[in-house]
Structures are given as structure tokens and as C-alpha cells.
Structure 1
Amino acid sequence: MDLIAAILKDSKYNLTQFNYGQIEQLESKIVYRDAKGGTKPYVECLVRKKDVYLTPEEIVRQLYLMTLNEEFGYPYERMQVEYPVAFGRQTKRADIVIFDKDHTTSVYIMVELKKPKLKDGKDQLKSYCHATGAPIGVWTNGESISFYNRRDPNYFKDIPRIPKASETLPDVLTERWTIDTLIQEDKLVNERKSLKDIILEMEDEVLANAGVDVFEELFQLIFTKLYDEMESTRNKTRHLEFRNYGETETQLKEKIQQLFDKAKSKWGGVFSTSAKITLAPSHLAICVSSLEQVKLFNSNLEVVDEAFEYLINKSSKGEKGQYFTPRYVIDMCIKMLDPKAHETIIDTAAGSCGFPVHSIFHVWKKLAPNESNLFTAEEKTAEQKDYVREKVFAIDFDEKAVRVARTLNLIAGDGETNVLHLNTLDYERWNDKTEDEDWQDIYFDGWRRLKKLRATKNQNRDFNFDVLMANPPFAGDIKESRILSKYELGHKKDGKQQSKVGRDILFIERNLDFLKPGGRMAVVLPQGRFNNSSDQYIREVIADRCRILGVVGLHGNVFKPHTGTKTSVLFIQKWNDDESKGALCPKVEDYPIFFATMQEPSKDNSGEKIFVKKSDYPQAETIDKDASEDRVAEVVNTYSSGAENLDEYLLDNHGHLIVKHDLFNHDGLTQDGIAEAFVEFAKKEKMSFVGKI
């Protein structure tokens, strides 16, 4: 396939929609002819039956003509390419049309290839469908693909696929779906889209002018759909309800509202009991058609994370962004601190709850080594639920982030969560929240459990957590004198109170207050905190209260495209020479510290993830090929860049692409990284938390 790869080079077209057999078949027919400026590639067109110059667009067209014929059964005789479409005195050419079987001059399906970007291509496709009356439209650039049913001039409904030649459009629209159907037809897989892409489409179609809170409405719909998927996963014969089976728009809204009510009842404390879907029935119908073919449950959090991060940032109206910590950074921290089933854990700046949820996965793996224990809809054991209910906690100041975190934690923990809406730094004012009846209605159970972990009754400063992991916000200073007065780091070295202090600096001290003696912590901080001479006092306070276990410098691309701030992760353990109070960590004056710097960027300069190729680890054994093919595209969709040739990429034990980093060994398939080196260092230093279950 070298010839085709050379033609596609530097173009915006891709071929992940097509199988290798089709690509090889096309390549075998390429001939080169002398032309002005050198030789050029040609191929015989499957419809025109004459040689045509093979541009990147023509490659996609010929491959899709094969698909229409081989997979959908349409004879080439019913197709035409470069079909003239009249717009007043102007005539444009449609890439592919399929004519109606009975009315052979009427366009039945319109296919648009010219515009590599979905929005541009969809707009052109709509105009062609309007002009010809075609009821079905297809847009593809060879990588992503979209199918639409033109209902009226202003409403193009997403449909799961085009009908085969032997089917009618109603056959496609009314077929009942189970969870297995959704897995097979997942739009994220088959159309190579991310959930964020689909949200952007919905915004463009209806949400931007619907007069509603976009975050709230889409959060409700995602929440409802997650519930629908869970119910059908636990009853494989159940038909999915988050789907339009031909109902009127009013009937569909009534059905989705009832499903939303059931979801609220199952997963309380995210929406009020009176919350209603406020989208107009016509707008809701478009959103349901966009989401109904998307499988949200995935064996990690990537699919929903990217979407929620976008929605939260969009709704923040220019305020500080909520930059969710990449999963591979979270997993490195967890592998290094190794939380145990008997230990309590908290994230004091929870965001989407990545640290707590991945800690749940980590501990569940210890409890049941043979289970996947990831973000699935399968029912959890009593032991697994008990761990989430009694040991895992999270706090965040942003109300929207808390609701997202509660949702993911509730679902991962099968109905259990201790995610609380509190201002971590302003612990003096917690009682104002905790005594509020509306707050108690949502958070009381979690608050009751958190109180049990206070170091001293009736005070909210000191707690007895075993493990804390957090990525606190860097932006902004705390200037309120009342808050600064409560912190040692709110004062200068001479004891005078400062006028302002960086938020992340106060988080360092606050996080230490959450830990019991011997407790350990991983916290993401700006690199400057470790280097700046003006921050020497901060480093002295840290060293006085705990042992610095290690510092891991992260690559500057890790938090792109949101920010290029260089960051490091600080790992510490609180001093403790009394085993009855916590894990031993006797205070010493001189000790070695683990230092490491991430070399692999994990993302390119634009923030797109870089994936591990098989050629990077030729010795690695991947999972069985059939399972890989079934699962590989499940995560390709998560990343907007996709992958040119899926067969080139190494998959993990869940069939997912692996981000290329050197933070840890991924499922034994990549080389040992920083986490493994730290574990060896910790064993050599006889650290109390290493190697225990």
C-alpha cells in the first residue's frame, strides 16, 4: 500500500473506514502514465469504466464505491459519479449518487467526499440533498463517516447506517436494539468520531440557539444514556430505550424524561428530584438521534472525560479551566503509591474524579485479579462496593465538576460515592455548607463518613487519610486574609502574614493536613515550585513535615492543548515513628530522593495523543487478533487524530491503543518506566508501604 500512502501524504484524507483487502485491490490496479511534470497515477473508475487521475479524494471515492457494492449490495449501474446538481444558473458536481430502484432518475442516496472537515462537508451535503430531494446523505473523508436521513429542509436525523439494497429506510429506523447491537454499531467505532465531535455537531445543529444551558442539557442526556446502557448490559435481552423507534417528537420526549427519572432514582445526588429535560421536543429528537448510536460505557474513562472537560470549560465563561489529569499520569501515581484495600484515599481537587476512580480499579484488581474491574456496566461484588463506600473520598469547589465526579464515581462504584461539594482551602466555612438542608439532601452520607476520619472531633482541619492524590488548580492567588491567617504558608518566614499566596501553595499545606502520620501523597505542581529561589521556604516546610519520596518531571505536552505549563509530581510520606498511628516513616536528617524526568512526550505539540506502534516493541505479545479487531476501534474514536493503519498499533489487554509514554509498563507490553524504577528504589529504601497487599 506504499503507492496509495504516497498519494495521500500531506492530504487531510485517511483510509481507516476501509479494509486492507479493498485498499490492496485498488492499489493493484494503479498504473502510471507520463504527464507534464512527470508520471502520474491512474486507475479505472468502477462506475465510469475509464481511467481517472488518482487524487486523494479519488482514492476515497473508489474505495467507497467498493463498499457500496460489496457491503451494501448496490450495483454500480445504479450509481453515478460527478452527478450535476443545479443551483440556479450554477451547476456543481456531487461525488457519488445512488438512484432509486423504482424511480431510476430520482436520487436516493447522496455521498459527499470533497470536504475533509465534517462541518464543511455536511453543509455541502445538505445543499445537494435539498436540491435533489435525496432522502439519505452520507459524508466521509475516509476516516470519519456520517449517515443522515433528510426529514425536512432544516432537520437531518442521524441514522446508524444506510439501508442495504435489499432493505428500506424504515427497516433501518425501526429495528430494535439491544446492548450487543449498540456494541456492534457504535458510532464512535464505525464513524471514527469522539463524543466531543458529536457534541460539537449538536451545538452546531440545535443547541447554540435552543435557549438552554448546554452543559445541563447534555449532562442530563449523557447521564440518562449511561443508565440505559447499564440496564441493558445487566439484561442482555432488554431493548435500549434511549433511541427513537419511530415515535413522534412528543412521545420521544416523554420516554426520555421517564428514563431520566429512573436514572435519578438509581444515582441520587447529581440532579434534583424535580429536574426536567427542558429541550424542545424537536431539538431533543435531534440530540437523541446524535447520541443513540454511541456507546458511552468503555473500559476506561476516556470517552466521557473528553466530553465533560469540554462542557465544563465551555460553561466556565472564561474562568479558570478545569484541566483533567491524563489517565496515564494518574496511573503512574497510583502504581507508585500503591493504595491498599484497607486504606482510605482522598482527592482534594477532584475534577472528574480520575484519581479516586482509578484507585478503585487498582484496588479491585487486588481483590479480584482475574476481573477487568474497569469502567463497565457489570454489577459489582459486595466487597467492591464496600471499598468504594468506606474508603474512597473526593472534594471539589466547582459544583459542575462535583456533579461530573459524582456521576463517574457513582457509576464506577455501582451506586456508591463520597464526592463532596466543599471548598478544600476554606475549611472554616464548611459548617455553613454541611448544616444546609439542601446540601445535606445530596451529600449527607458522604459527609457522615468523612467526619469519622477527622483527627479531632468537631474540627475540619486535620484528617487521618492514608493516601492523597490530587492535581490542584494552579491559576490565581488567595488574597482573603481570613483564609491566609490559618496557613503556615500564608505567612512569610518572619511570621508576617502575606497579602496573597498562590492557590497551589496553600493546597500543599492543606493536603498535608489531610494525611495521618505515615500517610503518603502525590500532588501535581508547577515546575517552578521546585526550582524558584523564592519558593525555598515552601520546600523547607514540606521537608520539615514529611519525607520527600520523589519528584517526577512531566513533559511540557502532557496538559496540552489546554496549557503548556511545565509540571512535576511531588511524592511525599509524612514522618511517623509510632506504628500505632500509621505507616512507619521515622524522621531522618539525610536520605536519598527519587528523581526522574519523563522523556516521551505522550502528545504532540497540538495536544493530540501519540500511540505505541508494534514496531516500537516488536517483542511484545498482544491479545488474540480476533478480540483486538473487535475492540481496537472502541478507543480510536476517543482521539480526534485517529490512526492511519490500525494494524500498526500495539493494543493493551482490553484492546485499547496505548499512549506512548515512559511513565510505567503498560500491561507488560511496553518497557518498564518511571513507576517501576521508583518501586525498586522504594524496596531498596525499605519504605513501609511497598510490597504489602
Structure 2
Amino acid sequence: MAEKKVIVIPDGKICDYIDGKQRNDTPEEYVRQTIEKRLVNEHKYRPGQIKIEYTLHVGANKPRADIVIWEKEDDEKTQANVKLIIECKKETVDARNTKDGIAQLQSYMSVCPNCDWGMWTNSVQKYVFRKVVDEAGNISFMEYNDIPAADGNLDEVNRPSRTGLKNAYDDNLLFVFKTCHNHIYVNDGFQKQPAFFELLKVIFCKIEDERNIPSPLEFYTTSEERSNPDGQLTVQKRIRKIFERVKKRHGKIFDVNDEVKLSPRSLAYIVSELQRYSLLNTQIDIKGKAYEEIVGANLRGDRGEFFTPRNVMKMTVEMIHPQIGERVLDSSCGTGGFLVTAMTHVIAQLEQQMELSLKTKRSQWDMDTVRAYQDKIAEMAASDYFGFDLNPDLVKATKMNMVMNNDGSGNILQTNSLLPPHEWTADFRARLAVALGIDKNALRNHDTIAYFNVIVTNPPFGIKLPIKDKHILEQFDLAHVWVCDKETGGWEKTERLQSSVPPEILFIERCTQFLVPGGRMGIVLPDSILGAPGLGYIREWLIQNHRIIASVDLHADTFQPKNGTQTSVLILQKKKQEEKDKEEKSGIIADYNIFMTMVEKVGHDKRGNPLFVRDKDGNEILIPDTNSVLVHATTSTGEHTVSHEQRVKVRDDQTVLVPAIFARWKQEEGIGW
């Protein structure tokens, strides 16, 4: 067998998704590459139909169009035969720009006699035009929802069928969310946060419509409706009808008097952008990245809410390995990323179990089996997944994240979980008790809240909001003054309370109080807790109350560009009372090994720019894109499946390696979960 050729990319270059040529890695190029992937993987155009930077003849000028497409792969690649032109710009270029805006696109379309379609995008604005030529030869442009797919079917552009919905690919869903949010912000006068929540309502309507099987889809706008006031009002009426069902289904998220406040014009635009995608079936990683990025951009508060990178969440969840039937909690849930990741991990186990039981792959299940599978997922979300947060906006955002990714909002509750349980609000205690299947009066104090098998969390830290309330502090050993014995180096707790304590220290102990004996926790903590000499009492308390399973030292850039705090992930298992009694009686802490590793590469630099794997000469390398879709094509030689091997860069990220290494170590140590 011939040796496989390794492809490398010099610094500052990218490999074009369509033609494989090396081009400068610029913001504009990022937009173009994302669109190219959408053309192939969503619209099913074949690479042989597409040319990049195609030279046009416009009078004496010879501009280059970013992307041009011909109707057939074997068409003569002439300007006269061009059917579709796409112009891609960086985010800072406005559509109204006289040189680089939509006027440029329309001038290109005008000089291509058979060019019917054009699209202009900068990732936050998008315009699609169909060229119309009257009998006198006058050219006009009609705005459309989207460009047609390779099969030319305009019905799916105007009113998608259930079978015609597309799964989003790469960053295209992020593009859509940003485009929609930007449209609301600019055209409806909402500030960023209210604009986000209006978008949230429309996304809920989209998901509700997808779930309304077998009825025809009602979440749509035709191009004609979108372009005239009467049609926009018709769309508004359809969406308001769907939103009434949303409020009934999600009464804990939306009030009975809530309504979609967008103008008819904006609502029709948002619907046109979202209608082609299946939000239920798109890969969870793609949905999660898009959703959490736009949430972070609009709801990040001032209470230390530096949301955990997705790769760190995935690493932590895979290490902690939640299982079917275990109760999972994130006591500082933020956007819900940890909960979605944990539930996704368990859903994969459920799918595997059902495939083994039925002896068929999920793609072959009948409708009744799919419905039973979805019901089980909803049941798990309702009984096993819990999230608490102080910020009510983040609570709502987390519920949406759970609905969008796992078809169930779980038990996401707003509270200050550091308060003594008897001071929790009556509503919070009642709802938590119902979800746990207990009497709310059982939640009496910090010794009576151990109901969770698994906790995955990133508590707020690095902030100047210390806890000073005596009623809160007296619940925690770590809020007391501890004294170090200089001879032995050991620490002893005194009866005196500290005057103030950073919240991250209290969250460590609160999470332990939430865990059942033998339960386990994956928690992101600042390294000062693990290394500062004056905080040795925390480490002493951790050892007394847990088996320290693993410590993963994260790179300093992990939370950049927002936060440069050095952090680690601790994997802990809460000791059972008999273990603690035995150690206290003998005066000897059980000896065991601890898994320790350093993650030196997290896939981005301190500015948040992505970093990719390089060869020994410093060049970035490419691998085949395993997510590319095979295209079923019809050409003059008949029907066949086209496999065009696109290649992509590899993120230089060591977090993806840790879970497998940890799993082998855990097996060697005889750790059974």
C-alpha cells in the first residue's frame, strides 16, 4: 500500500474546502469557508459545480466573485452559464456599503445572463436575491428566504417539509443565531439582552413546531410573505398560534401573558432564517456551541460568570461518567452547558442499550420505538437533571438549552443555593421536593440535602463578592478559622467564624453537602485553592471528606480571552460515614493513588484565537473531514454517489486525550464507576 501523503499548511494559511488551494486565513475567509461547507453538506452542491474566486468580465474590469455555481457539474464553466453567485465579507462590512455591499453582488449578477440567484453575507447579515428580467430587458431583484438547493426545489425554500429540514453543519447555526439577534437589535430597538430573549421565544416556537408530529410544519414564511406587510402579518399570526402551545408546554419558562414582541417584519425575517434547519436533529455539539456562544455574548453578568469552555466540560463529564438513573446537579449552571453535556453522555448509553436490546441501529427504528426513546429522554430530564443559578436570566437560558438539545428542560431552578435550606424560597423548596420525591419539610438544614449522585460544576470565582452573612457562614466548616500546627503541618478547625469567605470556597462544601455518600464531583477550581500556603486548611478538609480521584491542571489560557485565572479540574468522591469514622479512629488516612495530569494545550490562545496541530516544521496539518456528507448526484453518465474528500485542520487540544487515559488508569486502580 502506498504511503499516505501528509498535507501541511503554512502559518496564516487555510486549505480551501472546495478546491484545496491555500489561502490567507482572514475573517472574510472564515465566512467563505463556512458558506462553502454549507453548500456541500446542506444544499448538496457538488464541488465540481463550484468555483472559488472566479474572474468575471464587467466592462473593462475583471473582478473576482467569491463563489460561483453552475447548474450541472459538466456545464461549460463560462460566465454566461453561471447560475448562482455568492459574495462573502467580514463582519465589519455593511450590506449598504457602496463598494462591497449588496450593490456589488447585484452588479455581478447583472453581467451573467443566466445567473438567477445571488447571496451576500458577512455572518451577521444575509441577503438572497432572485434576478427578474422583464420583456424590455429591465433587471430587478426579488428578495428570497434562501438560495435553492442543488435540486432546484423552491418549495423547500418557501415552506420546508419535515423530510426537507436540514441538519446544521459547522458554524452555520451560529451564523444564523447571530444574524437573527443582530436583526432584532438593529431593527426593533431592543437592547442586547431583551433581543436575545425575543429570539429565544421564536426558537421555542421552532422546536414546538418540529415536535408537533404528524401535523404539517407551520413555522415558515414564503418569500412573498416576507416581502410584503400583509404577508408578514400572516406569518405573525401563525407564530403567535404556535407560541400559545409553547406557553402551555413550558409554563415554568413563560408567563401566561407573554407574547412575541417582534415587529411582523422582523419576525418574518427570523422565521425565514431558522425554518430550513431541524433544531431537534442537528448535532448537539453544533447546537451547543452556537447557543452558548450567543448566550455568553448577551447574558454574561458581573458575578464571575465566566462560562466553561465546551472542551473542558466534555472532558470533565467523560471523566466523571454519569450513568443512567443517577441524579446529576450543576449548582451554578450558567448557560447549562455542563448539564447538556452530562445528559448527552447518558443519552448515548441509553441509545446503545436500546440498539443492543432491539438488535437494530437507531436509524432503523420505527416511529413507535423513536417515540419511546424520546419519552425516556424526557423522563430522564424530568427526574435526574437539576441546575441551580442565582441569575434568573441564566436559569431561563439553561432551560432553553436543555429543551433544544435533549427535548426536556429538567429541573432548572433559580435560587441562592448557599442560603441555609430553611431560608430557600417556598417555591424553590416545593419544586425541588416534588422533583426529588420527598416532603419539602425534609429540606431542613445543610445536613439534610444529600440527594445527588453526580455533580459537575464551575462555581463563580475570582470575584470581589465575599460572603459575610453569619447565617450563611455558620453552615460551613470552611467558613471557620482554621489553625495550622507548625510542628505537624496539620490544620485544626476552631469555633470562630471568618469575617468573610469567597463564594467558591463555600461552593466546594455546599456541593459536598449535596452529594450522597459515595457520590462523585467534577469541579473547576482556581489553583490558589490547591496551592496557596494559607489555604492549606481547604486541602485538609478535602482529604478528610473525599477520596481525591484526579487533578487536571489546565493551561493558563483556558478561560481566555475573558479571564486569565489559572484553574484545575478536581474529580472527588465523597467518603461514606463509616470510612470517615474508621480513619478518625485510627488516625490514619487511607493511602491511595491520585490521577494527575497537565493540559498544556486547550485549542486556543490568550486572545481566544484557535490553535491547530502542527508538524515538526511548524506547519499546520490537515485530516479528512469525517463529518462531510456524501452527495447523491445525477450527471450525464447516470446516478452515483460522489465522495469529495474535504480536509480540515485539527484543534491543538489535549483535553480530548485525557478521558481515555483516565479510564485506563481507573480500571487499573479498580475504580468501578
TM-score by length of 2: 0.72
1:662 aligns to what? 654
Partner of 1:76: 79
Q: 2:390 aligns with which of 384, 397, 401?
A: 397
Q: Which has the higher contact order (CA 8 A, sep 6+)?
A: 2
Q: Which amino acid letter does the alignment assign opposite residue 513 of structure 1?
A: Q
Q: 1:313 to 1:209 in 2, by over 3 A?
A: closer
Once the two structures are aligned, what percentage of the paired residues are identical?
Answer: 22
Flag the 1:163–1:226 CA change in 2: closer, same or farther, 3 A.
closer
1:483 aligns with 2:472: yes
How much does 1:348 deviate? 0.9
Quote the Cα distance in structure 1 between the aligned partners of 2:142 and 2:498: 59
Structure 2 gap segments, 5+ residues each: 1-14, 41-45, 111-115, 132-140, 226-230, 356-360, 364-368, 483-493, 634-643
Q: How does 1:224-235 map to 2 (within 5 A)?
A: 224-231=205-212, 234-235=213-214
CA contact (8 A) 1:350 1:470 kept: yes
Give matches, 1:547-586, under 5 Å.
547-576=547-576, 578=578
Aligned to 2:138: none
Q: Is residue 172 of structure 2 the alignment partner of residue 180 of structure 1?
A: no
Please tell me the root mean square deviation across aligned C-alpha atoms, in Å: 4.8
Q: Which moved more, 1:487-496 or 1:611-620?
A: 611-620
Secondary structure of 1:549 counterpart = strand
Matched, 1:674 2:658: yes
Aligned ranges for residues 514-593 of structure 1 at < 5 Å?
A: 514-576=514-576, 578=578, 588-593=589-594
Whole-angstrom CA distance in 2 between matches of 1:204 and 1:343: 41
1:676 to partner: Cα distance: 2.3
| Structure 1 segment 191-590 matched on structure 2, within 5 A | 194-203=175-184, 205-208=186-189, 213-231=194-212, 234-235=213-214, 238-244=216-222, 246-247=224-225, 248-297=231-280, 298-311=282-295, 313-315=297-299, 319-320=302-303, 322-369=305-352, 370=355, 379-381=371-373, 382-415=375-408, 417-428=410-421, 430-431=423-424, 433-435=425-427, 446-450=432-436, 452=438, 458-459=444-445, 461=447, 462-474=449-461, 475=463, 476-493=465-482, 494-576=494-576, 578=578, 588-590=589-591
Q: Given residue 548 of structure 1, which amino acid in structure 2 is its aligned partner?
A: I
Q: Distance between the aligned counterparts of 1:46 and 1:505, measured in 2? A: 64
Return the alpha-carbon distance in structure 1 between the equivalents of residues 142 and 291 of structure 2. Answer: 23
Per-residue deviation, 1:659: 5.0
Choose 482-491 or 323-332, whichever is displaced more: 323-332
Tell me, yes or no, if the aligned pair for 1:477 and 1:503 is still in contact at 8 Å: yes
User: Quick one: structure 1 residues 242 and 484, their matched pair in 2 at CA, closer, same or farther if it must change by over 3 Å?
Assistant: farther
CA distance in 2, matches of 1:67, 1:311: 38
- Shift of the alpha carbon at 1:539? 1.0
Aligned residue number for residue 120 of structure 1: 94
Give distance in 1, aligned partners of 2:283 and 2:328.
Answer: 22
Q: Distance in 1 between matches of 2:142 and 2:500?
A: 54
Inter-partner Cα distance in structure 2 for 1:648 and 1:483? 55
Q: What's the secondary structure of 2:453's corresponding residue?
A: strand
Query: Closer, same or farther in 2 for the Cα pair 1:158/1:483, shift >3 Å?
Result: farther
Is the alpha carbon distance of 1:544 and 1:610 closer, same or farther for their aligned partners in structure 2, counting shifts above 3 Å? same
- Aligned to 1:341, the other structure's residue is in SS state coil
For the residue of structure 1 that corresponds to 2:481, the secondary structure is: coil
- The 8 Å contact of residues 102 and 120 in structure 2, kept in 1 or not, is answered as no
1:367 to 1:217, Cα distance in 2 relative to 1, 3 A = closer
Q: How far, CA to CA, are the matches of 2:119 and 2:512 in structure 1?
A: 56
Say if 2:625 and 2:647, in contact at 8 Å, map to a contact too: no
Letter matched to residue 683 of structure 1: Q
Alpha-carbon distance between aligned partners in 2 of 1:495 and 1:519, rounded to the nearest angstrom:
28
CA–CA separation in structure 2 for the residues paired with 1:217 and 1:478: 34
CA distance in 2, matches of 1:4, 1:342: 47
Task: Tell me, in whole angstroms, the C-alpha distance in 2 between the residues paired with 1:384 and 1:5.
Answer: 44
- Correspondence for 2:126 among 146, 150, 170: 146
Opposite residue 602 of structure 1, the aligned amino acid is: G
Q: How far, CA to CA, are the matches of 1:628 and 1:110 in structure 2?
A: 21
Give a deviation string over 1:526-568, Cα, whole Å, max 9, x none: 1221111121111111111111111101223332333232211
State the 1:618 CA deviation. Answer: 10
Query: How big is the shift at 1:272?
Result: 1.2
Number of aligned residue pairs: give it: 580
The separation in 2 between residues aligned to 1:567 and 1:292, in whole angstroms, is 41
After TM superposition, the score normalised by the length of structure 1 is 0.70
Structure 1 residues 46 and 190, CA gap change in structure 2 (3 angstroms): farther
Give, in angstroms, the shift of residue 315 of structure 1.
4.3
Q: CA deviation at 1:472?
A: 0.9
- Whether the aligned pair in 2 keeps the contact of 1:327 and 1:354 (CA below 8 Å) is yes
Report the Cα offset of residue 686 of structure 1.
2.3
Secondary structure, aligned partner of 2:552: strand
SS in structure 2 of the partner of residue 496 of structure 1? strand
1:126-164: CA deviations, max 9, x gaps?
6738999999863257x999333599xxx9966211799
Q: Give the structure 2 partner of residue 90 of structure 1.
A: none
Q: Secondary structure at the match of 1:556?
A: coil
Structure 1 pair 426–296 and aligned structure 2 pair: CA distance change class (3 A): same
User: SS of the residue aligned with 1:501?
Assistant: coil
Q: 2:24, 2:623 → 1: CA distance?
A: 30
Structure 1 unaligned spans of 5+:
28-42, 53-57, 80-97, 99-108, 631-644, 651-657, 665-672
Q: Distance in 2 between matches of 1:489 and 1:610?
A: 39
Q: Which moved more, 1:560-569 or 1:318-327?
A: 318-327
Query: Alignment partner for residue 146 of structure 2, among 141, 160, 169?
Result: 160
Q: 1:480 to 1:67 in 2, by over 3 A?
A: farther
User: What corresponds to 1:606 in structure 2?
Assistant: 607
CA shift in 2, pair 1:609/1:509, >3 Å: same
Instruction: Give the partner amino acid of 1:238.
Output: P
Distance 1:159 1:71 in 2: 28
Partner Cα separation in structure 2 for residue 8 and residue 514 of structure 1: 51
- Range with bigger deviation, 9-18 or 392-401: 9-18
